Chain A
Amino acid sequence: MASSSDTTSSADHTPENPESGSVCETSDTTDGPARRGRVRARRAAVMAVPATLAAGALAVLTAEGALGVQFAISGMPFTVTATELNGTGFEQFGGLDHMAPGSPNEGDTGGQVLVVTSAIKNATLTKLCQSVDLGGTNLLITAGGGAQKVTASDLTTDSTELSGDAAFNNIEIGNDASTLTKAGVKGPIGVFSQQADTVHIANLRQTNYATTAGVFRLPGLKLRFSDPGC
C-alpha cells in the first residue's frame, strides 16, 4: 500500500452526496490506510428485504398454481397420443382460443383458433406422449410407460383434431354447453355440447392448442428433443 494510492483512489469516488468532495482534501492528510468501499448492512437490507419477500411470493404463487394458470396459448399446436384413456365425468363443447396479441403464429386467423374443449373430471392415461413441432425438431414428452399410469384431475384440453376408438356410458348429446354438469366445467350459452358419465378411448390422438389440469401426475416423465414426433 504505497502512500501515492491515497490521492489517486479517492479521486474517482463520485457518490451521491456532494459534501464528500469538500472533505477529501482534509481527509487525505489524516487517513493512514487506503480508503476502501464497504457494503453497509442497513443499506443493503433496504433492498434485500423486499426482494426476498417478492421471491418468496413468486415461489408460493407458483407452488399454489396461481401463477401461470391464466396463460395465452402460444398458437403452436401440439400432438398428444395415448394407447388408452379412461375417465369419469366427461364433457365436450366448442370454443374459441385467443393467442397473445401480436403473436407471430397468428397468420390470417386474427389470433383466434376454433377448438373443441374436452373436460374430464378424473382421467387415467397409459403411455402418454406429447410432442411440439418446433420447426425441424420436436420437443417430446413421454410418461406413464411403466406400471404407473398418468393421472389427471379436472383435465381440460382444447383440440382441433381428435381421433380414437371411443366408448361412452350414459351419454347425453345435444345439451346446451352452459348446462353441463358431469365435469364441473361450463361452456358458453347456446353452443352444442355432449357429456357422459364415463369415457374410454383407445389409441387416442389429439392435436391440441392448450391443456390445463388441476393435478397432472406424470410418473416416468421423459423430456427430450427428437426428430420424429408422436
Chain B
Amino acid sequence: MSARTGFRSAFRRWRADRPFWGGLLLALGGAEILLTMKASMKVVLHVGMQGLAGYLLPALMLLLGLLILFNPAQRLFYSITAVLLSLGTWLTSNLGGFFVGLLLGVVGSCLAFGWLPDQEPRRSRRQRRNAVAAG
C-alpha cells in the first residue's frame, strides 16, 4: 500500500466517500446518448420543443452524473431524477441512445441510490453504547 503514489491513494480515498461508479455510469450514459444525437442545432431549433427534449434529457443525465460525483450528499434526489430522465430518453432520444445509454443511466442511478457511506452495523453500535455506559 505504501508503494502507491500520493495521488493514487488520494484518488482512492476520494472515490471511497461518494457513489463513484453510479455517478460515472450515469454520466457516461448521458454522454453516449448525446453522441447518438446527430441532428444539427439549426434543425433542432426549427423543430421546437420535441427536438430540444432529445438533447435536454441526456444533457441533464450527464449533469446529474457529475453532480452525484461532486455533491454526493444530495444523491437521492439526483438519482431519482436521473432514473426518470433515463427512462424518458427512450421516447425522446433514439430509443435511449439505442438502449446502451438508457441501460447505463438506469444502472448508474440505481447504484447511486443504493450507495451508503460505510457505517457500523446497528447491533455493534448498541453494544458499544452499552459498553460506554457500563465503563
Contacts and interface: CB of A to CB of B under 8 A. Distances in A.
B114 A43 contact: yes
A147 interface: no
Contacts of B91: 58, 67-68
B129 to A, nearest CB: 8
A115 B39 CA distance: 29
A175 interface: no
Interface in B22-61: 22, 42-43, 46-48, 50
A135 B119 contact: no
Given A34-B13, A37-B18, A58-B87, A48 B110 contact: yes
A76 interface: yes
Q: In the complex, which of the residues A12, A47, A135 has the most CB atoms of chain B within 10 Å of its own CB atom?
A: A47
Interface residues of A, number: 48
Classify the secondary structure of B's interface with A: helix
B109 interface: yes
Nearest to A41: B114
Nearest to A104: B48
Contact of A38 (B47, B90, B116, B125): B116
A175 B43 CA distance: 42
Contact of A44 (B9, B80, B114): B114
Contacts of B90: 55, 58-59, 62
Contacts of A43: 113-116
A13 B17 contact: yes
Interface string A10-46: 0011111000100100110010001111111111111
Contacts of B120: 23, 27
B105 to A, nearest CB: 10
A52 interface: yes
B128 interface: yes
A74 interface: yes
A203 interface: no
13 contacts: A1-B1, A14-B73, A20-B117, A23-B125, A35-B17, A36-B16, A37-B115, A39-B19, A41-B114, A43-B114, A44-B113, A134-B47, A135-B43
Given A23-B125, A37-B17, A54-B87, 9 more contacts: A14-B73, A37-B117, A39-B19, A40-B115, A44-B114, A48-B114, A51-B83, A55-B90, A136-B42
Interface of A: 1-2, 5, 9, 12-16, 20, 23, 26-27, 30, 34-48, 51-52, 54-55, 58-59, 62, 67-68, 74, 76, 100, 103-105, 134-137
